[in-house]
Amino acid sequence: MRRTLAIARAEWIHNLRDPRSLFVIVVLPVVLLLLYGYGINYDLRHIPFAVWDLSGTTVSRDLVQSFVASGYFRLRHVVIHQEEVAGLLDGGDVIFVMVIPPDLAQRLGASRPAKVQVLLSGADTTRASVAQGYIEAALLQASQALATRAQLRSGTTGRIPPGFGISTTILYNPSLNSTRFIVPGLIAVLLTILAALLTSTAVVREREWSSFETLVTSPVRAPNIMLGKMAPYVLIAFVDVLLSIVTGVLVFHVEPVGSVALLLAVSFLYLLASLSIGMLFSTVMKTQQLAILVTMLTTLLPTTLLSGFAFPLRSMPTVLQAVSNVIPATHFLIVIRSIYLKGAGLDVLWPRVAVLALFALALTVLAAKRFEKRL
Amino acid sequence: MIAIPLAVEVDHLVRRFGDFVAVDDVSFTVNQGEVFGFLGPNGSGKSTTIRILCGLLAPSGGHAVVAGLDVWRQAEGIRAQMGYMPQFFSLYGDLTGAENIEFYAAMYSVPPAEIRRRLDFLAERLELGSVLNRLTRTLSTGWRQRLALATAIAHQPPLVFLDEPTSGVDPVTRRLFWDVIADLAHDGATVFVTTHVMDEAEHCTHLAMMHYGKLIAQGPPEQMRRDLVSSLVQVQSERIWDALQALQGAPQIHEVALFGEALHAEVAAEVADPEERVRQVLASAHVPVASVQRVAPTMEDVFVSLARRYERPTTAGRDA
């Protein structure tokens, strides 16, 4: 135990005194978060849309005007014929088409709710989900403006007119219900990079320094070395997970719906799998550069491309879907998104969590077996 | 007869790297409490042997036993009894001297209180001073070697392997090292030390000489001097080059070498009066002589004499 702690302590010091490690631990998460934050903020402005105004009244024109004035939407086209709608969405010219019903003014005048139909393109899930949130907000605001005006006109505080309702139809990807999943996705990517990258270099670094030769001749056992080397990264990774959650709340306004404790517990399982993959690499690699390169290619790319982080699994070819099943990140992503966005608990998630636990166990055992005290 | 427990037993040990034979059928034993000097030039197979004994390399043939355990198959059983100072700097560059010593002492399960006591002792004995608080990567070779030695002996192992501890070290530090090694042996430890500086062999109680992977001689230093160099005669002359030519190839004269401003000639052991024999050779060649006298051979004489008896293999040696 004391040996493991001594190794963990030394590993901790290596990281603290190595600018490169500090970069990966502190700067990389921040850079990634900012990159994604910037990407999303960029998309938030000037969302292109089209209007099919069947009402053609002052109220409907005011509504469209309020959308444009908000700065979040840009009116690209005014639809005259119904046939145009499909083409606009298919071609990606607009993200959504707002259909204003013919009886809008009448319903509002009669203090009945008036539904505005929104046809939303789900092809770009991220933009679609963000757009949806903004449309709802804009409509709510327009309703409030309408109500205020009505009150001013009547001079009473009597009945407030119900305002605009919304009926959203999402095209192409109707299951777009887990909104803003970028933050939990980012946690998965961070854990993958950190864990695999840092552990694989942790042992390879010893080889480069030839300190491994002295360590090998000492009576410390291989599992102690492995455990001691992994321990600091568990701590570092947990700090980065918490950092991601906090940044998610502050920058993206995404708060975890489910249990943070469960989130951390599942992260720990995934972390074990990732750390063990890194340890496995370290047994083969001879230089840090090679370790970094190979780790990037074999963990980061599948995690971002094949796990459903960037592209929906459902839209992948069957072969790739099968491949994605053997990537721990795939299961972790589903679990963490469900906890984060839907507030799902173990009662629902246990099969995926079991798969993750199996991955963690298998990879840890494999790494422990392959990790030898040999040069 | 009192049985001396064997500390190290090496039996027909072979290690190949591809076609290259780094260690070629080497056998020797090291007794407990000895300072065993493992001599030979760079690339003679010393480091390979020491790394096999430390369980870092598998032997290609033969076997080596330390404290009754096979160094490769039962390596873990021996480790706690051993201290190892590798030939190349292998401390953590981003840890201070003290942190390095503490780290390795912890690896050998030395209790924390004992670690502090040993740290104080080593700081004093190896005159480490403020170097203990500096990152080792900022230190010069001499200081690094002191710290490496301190690290290797911090857990007071009964068997210490030191691979060229004095390379790149100034004469004062060198003397300090050999004093510390003598202390270790005095306290009952067995010290296995390699060096290519032949004069350092005088500090050892037992020697083994390696040359191109082969063990060419072994024994206590004085015995090696007595047995292996037949008789060494020093010649001084105004016409030193003529003397050299006259002696080279003369019957019963094995080796002639320039040694400063004098000649060292090795005369066959069966010659009763080696000085007279040298005088005869020089007189018949009409070379005037200032002085001819027997001298005690240095370890370098011993090594040169031995090395010349063995033919150079065609493959160049390397220190693996």
Q: Pairing state of beta strands B291-294 and A47-53?
A: unpaired
- Whether residues B84 and A10 touch (CB distance < 8 A) is answered with no
Contact A214 B90 (CB under 8 A): yes
Question: Could you tell me which chain B residue has the CA closest to the CA of A18?
Answer: B94
Inter-chain residue contact A375 with B56, CB threshold 8 Å = yes
CA–CA distances in Å: residue A261 to residues A179, A242, A256, A258? 22, 11, 11, 9
Residues A98-115 have pLDDT tens digits of: 888 888 888 877 777 778
Of A30-44, A245-259, A271-285, B216-230, the range with the lowest mean pLDDT is A30-44
Q: What is the mean pLDDT of residues B189-194?
A: 94
Q: Do B107 and A220 touch (CB under 8 A)?
A: yes
What is residue A37's predicted lDDT score, i.e. its pLDDT? 57
Higher-pLDDT residue of A174 and B277 is B277
Structure tokens at B211: 């040359």
Q: Which residues contact A53 (CB under 8 A, 6 or more apart)?
A: A60, A61, A64, A78, A79, A100
Chain B residues with CB-CB distance to A215 below 8 A: 107
Residue of B nearest to A221 (CA): B76
CB contact under 8 A, B107 and A14: no
Task: List chain A residues with CB under 8 Å of B102.
Answer: 6
Interface contact flag, A218 B135, Cβ < 8 Å: no
For B86-96, how does the pLDDT look when each residue is reduced to its tens digit (9 = 90+)?
988 889 999 99
Q: Token match 């014929």: residue?
A: A81
The pLDDT of residue A159: 55
Whether residue A219 and residue B103 make contact (CB cut-off 8 A), yes or no, is: no
Calculate mean pLDDT across residues B96-124: 94
- Average pLDDT estimate for A18-38: 72
| Cβ-based contacts of B55 with chain A (< 8 Å) | 216-217
Residue B100 confidence (pLDDT) above 90: yes
Determine the Cα–Cα distance for residues A352 and A356; give it in Å rounded to an integer: 6
> Does A40 have pLDDT greater than 80?
no
Q: What is the pLDDT of residue B311?
A: 56
The per-residue pLDDT for A126 is 66
Q: Which of B163, B176, B3, B203 has its CA nearest to residue B83?
A: B163
Residue A20: count of CB within 10 angstroms of its CB: 12
Confidence of residue B76 (pLDDT cuts 50, 70, 90): confident
Residue range B186-205: average pLDDT? 90
Please give the Cα distance from B170 to B162 (Å, whole number).
17
Percent above pLDDT 90 for chain A: 4
Instruction: Using a CB–CB cutoff of 8 Å, tell me whether A210 touches chain B.
Output: yes
CA distance B59 to B48: 10
Assess B109–A contact: CB distance below 8 Å, yes or no: yes
Would you state the pLDDT for residue A345? 83
- Nearest CA to CA, how far is A223 from chain B (Å)? 13
Long-range contacts of B124-128 (CB under 8 A, 24+ apart): B125/B180, B125/B183, B126/B150, B126/B176, B126/B180, B127/B176, B128/B97
Would you state the structure tokens that stand for residue A171, as one six-digit string? 């095209």
Question: CB-based contact (8 Å) between A75 and chain B?
Answer: no
Q: How far apart are the C-alpha atoms of B11 and B30, rounded to whole Å?
A: 12
Token digits for A341? 């966005």
Query: Measured between CB atoms, does A372 come within 8 Å of chain B?
Result: no
Query: Given CA atoms A68, A72, A75, A81 in this order, what sign does their dihedral have?
Result: negative
pLDDT in tens, A123-137: 666 677 778 888 888
Asked if B79 and A215 come within 8 Å (Cβ–Cβ), the reply is no
Q: What is the mean pLDDT of residues B206-226?
A: 89
Q: List the B20-31 sheet strands across, edge first.
A: B20-31, B6-17, B61-66, B69-70
Mean pLDDT of B207-214: 92
A289-293: Cβ within 8 A, 24+ apart = A290/A204, A291/A200, A291/A201, A291/A204, A292/A197, A292/A200, A292/A201
The 10s digit of each residue's pLDDT in A58-91 is 888 888 888 888 888 888 889 888 888 888 877 7
Written as six digits, the tokens of A202 are: 């942790």
Q: Tell me the nearest-neighbour CA distance from B78 into chain A, angstroms.
A: 8
Dist. CA A360–CA A272, nearest whole Å: 5
Q: Is there a contact between A218 and B79 if contact means CB atoms under 8 Å apart? A: yes
User: Percent of chain A beyond pLDDT 70?
Assistant: 84
User: In whole numbers, what is the pLDDT of chain A averaged over residues?
Assistant: 79
Flag if A3 and B80 touch (Cβ within 8 Å).
no
Q: How many CB pairs under 8 A join A and B?
A: 69
User: Closest Cα partner for B87 from B167, B18, B158, B13?
Assistant: B167
Cβ distance A258 to A342 under 8 Å? yes
Contacts of B54 (CB under 8 A, 6+ apart): A217, B71, B82, B84, B161
Single out the residue of A195, A343, A224, A170 nearest to residue A282, CA to CA: A195
**HSE-up of B224 (CA within 13 Å, CB side)?**
26
Q: Note whether A211 contacts B92, CB cutoff 8 Å.
A: yes
A209 in contact with B at a CB cutoff of 8 Å?
Answer: yes
Tens-place pLDDT, residues B227-268: 766 788 999 999 998 999 899 888 888 888 888 888 888 888
Which residue of chain B is at minimal alpha-carbon distance from A225? B107
What does the mean pLDDT of chain B come to?
88
Evaluate if residue B198 carries a pLDDT over 80: yes
**With an 8 Å Cβ cutoff, are B93 and A209 in contact?**
yes
Asked whether the CA dihedral B80, B82, B86, B92 is positive or negative, the reply is positive
Give the per-residue pLDDT at A311. 66
pLDDT for A184: 78
Of residues A124 and A142, the one with the higher pLDDT is A142
How does DSSP assign B213-244, residue by residue?
A: TEEEEEE-HHHHHHHHS-EEEEEE-TTHHHHH
The reply to whether residue A210 touches residue B103, judged by beta carbons under 8 angstroms, is no
Span B45-68, pLDDT tens digits: 999 999 999 999 999 999 999 888
What pLDDT score does A167 carry? 66
Q: Which residues of B touch A210 (CB under 8 A)?
A: 86, 88-90
Would you tell me how many other CB atoms lie within 10 Å of the CB of residue A290? Answer: 15
Q: Which of A288-297, B1-10, B170-179 has the lowest mean pLDDT?
A: B1-10
Alpha carbon separation from B146 to B17, B119, B149, B318 (Å, rounded): 32, 13, 5, 26
Euclidean distance between the first and the last CA atom of chain A, given in angstroms as a whole number: 24
Q: In chain A, whose CA is at the least distance from the CA of B137?
A: A209
Confidence of residue A181 (pLDDT cuts 50, 70, 90): low
CB within 8 A of A107, min separation 6: which ones?
A101, A113, A114
Nearest Cα to Cα of residue A279 among A169, A363, A187:
A363
CB contact (8 A) between residue A210 and residue B95: no
Residue B231 contacts residue B294 (beta carbons within 8 Å) = yes
Q: What percent of chain B has pLDDT over 90?
A: 55
Question: Whose CA is closest to A39, among A225, A183, A200?
Answer: A183
Of A57, B320, B140, the closest CA to residue B131 belongs to B140
Q: With contact defined as beta carbons under 8 Å apart, do B83 and B38 qualify?
A: no
Beta carbons within 8 Å of A369's beta carbon, 6+ residues apart: none
User: Which B residues 56-85 touch A at CB under 8 Å?
Assistant: 56-57, 76, 79-80, 82, 84
- Left (φ > 0), alpha (ψ -120 to 50) or beta: where does B212 sit? left
> Please, which pLDDT band fits residue A169 given cuts at 50, 70 and 90?
low
Contact B86 A220 (CB under 8 A): no
Question: Contact A17/B54, CB-based, under 8 Å?
Answer: no
- Give the separation between CA B168 and CA B193, rounded to whole angstroms: 15
In this structure, how many other beta carbons lie within 10 angstroms of the beta carbon of residue A299?
A: 24
Name the residue with higher pLDDT: B3 or B143: B143
**Which regions of chain A carry the CATH code 3.40.1710.10?**
47-171
pLDDT digits (tens, 9 = 90+) for B135-190: 999 999 999 999 999 999 999 999 999 999 998 899 999 999 999 999 999 999 99
- Residues B275, A222: Cα–Cα separation, whole Å: 63
So what's the pLDDT on residue B65?
92
Q: What's the CATH code, domain A47-171?
A: 3.40.1710.10
pLDDT at A314 over 70: no
* Amino acid B316: pLDDT: 44
- Mean pLDDT to the nearest integer, A36-58: 73
Q: With an 8 Å Cβ cutoff, is A220 touching chain B?
A: yes
Residue B79 has pLDDT above 70, yes or no: yes
Kindly list the residues from chain A whose CB atom is less than 8 angstroms away from the CB atom of residue B109: 2-3, 219
B139 CB near a chain A CB, below 8 Å?
no
List pLDDT tens digits, range A228-239: 988 888 888 888
* Interatomic CA distance for residues A350 and B129, integer angstroms: 59
| Non-local CB neighbours of B285 within 8 Å, separated by 6+ positions | B242, B245, B246
